[in-house]
Structure 1
Amino acid sequence: MKIDAGTLQDYLAATLKSAKDHTAEPPQLMFLVDQMDQIFHREIFEHSFEVNPVVGLLAMNSYTLILSAVRQALSGHVVSTYPIARAALESACYGFLIACDEAKADVWISRHHSESSLQKCRKTFTAKNAANELRKIDPVMAEYVLAHYDASIDFGAHPNRKSVIDHIEDMGPMGDGLHGFSLVGVYGRNSWHVNHALLVCVEAGQAIAFLLAASVENHPLIHDRASVFQDWMDAKNRMVEELNGGPIDYSGPMYCSVIPPT
């Protein structure tokens, strides 16, 4: 086997070009990302709510990380979108767990005090634990959160088959008995993969927004203004059908039915 890889400067030039291209001409699904940002600001950040300070910090961390995931998607390096989206979702999950039981804030703060503190923190703060608590409020959104967390691992947060082999292109015979394959690292302007990564950011953002709202007692976004959240979900679903050529089947693993064009 012989590996021919570009340099760091090649990578930086390619991702910078993709980001500039997408700034000049936004991708097809970028308006959904802008809508997501408006929801965060209009429905969450423009209001004052009584929460534990740690919950507030984790909420802001979650928001800035999902913005970073969008940035990665726009750079064209779509696989790296998933680890960041996963971290954003985890931050919202941790904040929600503390909102449910403020004693958990001390567990989170004390994580590095000792080995036993570390293990206790690891066992306390998991996406599954957050989903279990969220199930008491909304079973459907609990499954939504966990499905996106698992999907982020499958598609890029871990080096699994989908995050590697799904980005291989067959280059055919290369001579001297060799056969070439290319592992695509950076996708170009308005590609299907870039738009798919933006979809991931939006859906992770929806899970995060719900978790943040669920961290506040009687938050309007999931009570008095629940229609705003549902309209946001519906608008996203309509665009997904256009991108995918049909509805996503959410009954199986997340994104298993989102097939790139051949």
Structure 2
Amino acid sequence: MRLTAGRLIEYLKDTSENANEHAATPPQLMYMVDQMDQIFHEKVFSHPFDVHPFAAMLLLNSYTMLAGAVREALSGHIVCTYPIARTALESACYGFLIRSDNDMASIWMNRHKDKDSLKRCRQMFTVSNAVAALKPVSSEMADYVQGNYDASIDFGAHPNQRSILAHASAMATRVDSTEGFDMTVVYGVNSWHVNQALLTCVEVSQAIAFLIAASADHHPLLNERIDVLKDWFEEKNRMAEQLAGRPIDYSGPMYSSVIPPS
């Protein structure tokens, strides 16, 4: 068996060209990413947060990592979107866990102090613990956070068969009768896969926005401005079904139910 791959310089050229072309002519779903960014700045971050400084840094880190996931989607290397989106979601979960518990902040800070501290930190700071803490606030959104986390692993945050074989295709039979396979790494400008990756960023951002808002006392996004969140979800659902080309019967994040056209 032989393995062949393009040169790094080719990869850098292709991903840079994709990002530049997308900056000049935004892909189909970029308007939803712009809407996402507007909601974070005008509806989420505009409210004061009385939280531990470590919680604040983790919550802010989730947004910056989310920006990195968008960047990867726009580069065309869409599989890279998922591990970054997963980290963004984990950061928001950890900030939510620390929001009013100084003991949790100490556990996080002392992670690398010794083996026992590392073990305790790993036990306490998990997405499942954040989901359990979120359930009294909203059982539906707790399930949504867990669904986004699980889907990110399936689609690229872990090297499983779905995240790899979904991008592989059989080559034409060679002259020597051997068989080969191609694996697409970088997808083209405004391709279906680029737009699905942008949909992923929007869905993860909705989970993150809820976690950040739930970390503040009486955040308007979860109270008198809950209509903003509902309208945002409805618009995302409509665009997901348009990208899929059909109504979607789904549970969890919609992007896991959006199947590429054959």
Shorter-chain-normalised TM-score: which range? over 0.9
* 8 A contact 2:94–2:125 mirrored in 1: yes
Cα separation, 2, equivalents of 1:258 and 1:240: 7
Cα separation, 1, equivalents of 2:253 and 2:132: 18
- TM-score, normalisation: structure 1: 0.97
- The amino acid of 1:202's aligned partner reads V
Report the Cα offset of residue 256 of structure 1.
4.2
CA shift digits 1:83-142 (9 cap, x unpaired):
000000000000001115332000000100010000000000001100011011000000
Mapped pair 1:205 → 2:205 = yes
The residue number in structure 1 matching 2:63 is 63
- The amino acid of 2:81's aligned partner reads T
The residue number in structure 2 matching 1:224 is 224
Mapped pair 1:236 → 2:236 = yes
Quick one: structure 1 residues 187 and 249, their matched pair in 2 at CA, closer, same or farther if it must change by over 3 Å? same
The residue number in structure 2 matching 1:6 is 6
Mapped pair 1:170 → 2:175 = no
CA shift digits 1:204-257 (9 cap, x unpaired):
000000000000111110111111111111111111111011233323786442
The residue number in structure 1 matching 2:181 is 181
Q: Spell out structure 1 runs of 4+ moving beyond 6 A.
A: none
Cα separation, 2, equivalents of 1:102 and 1:213: 19
* 8 A contact 2:29–2:198 mirrored in 1: yes
* Cα-Cα RMSD: 1.3
The residue number in structure 1 matching 2:42 is 42
- The amino acid of 2:221's aligned partner reads L
Sequence identity of aligned pairs in percent?
Answer: 56
- The amino acid of 2:248's aligned partner reads I
Report the Cα offset of residue 50 of structure 1.
1.2
In structure 1, runs of 5+ residues without a counterpart are none
The residue number in structure 2 matching 1:20 is 20
Aligned residue pairs total 262
* 8 A contact 1:82–1:152 mirrored in 2: yes
In structure 2, runs of 5+ residues without a counterpart are none
Bigger mean CA offset, 174-183 vs 119-128? 174-183
In the TM superposition, 1:58-207 aligns within 5 A as 58-207=58-207
CA shift digits 1:181-221 (9 cap, x unpaired):
11000000111100000000000000000000000111110
Cα separation, 1, equivalents of 2:238 and 2:133: 30
* 8 A contact 1:74–1:194 mirrored in 2: yes
- TM-score, normalisation: structure 2: 0.97
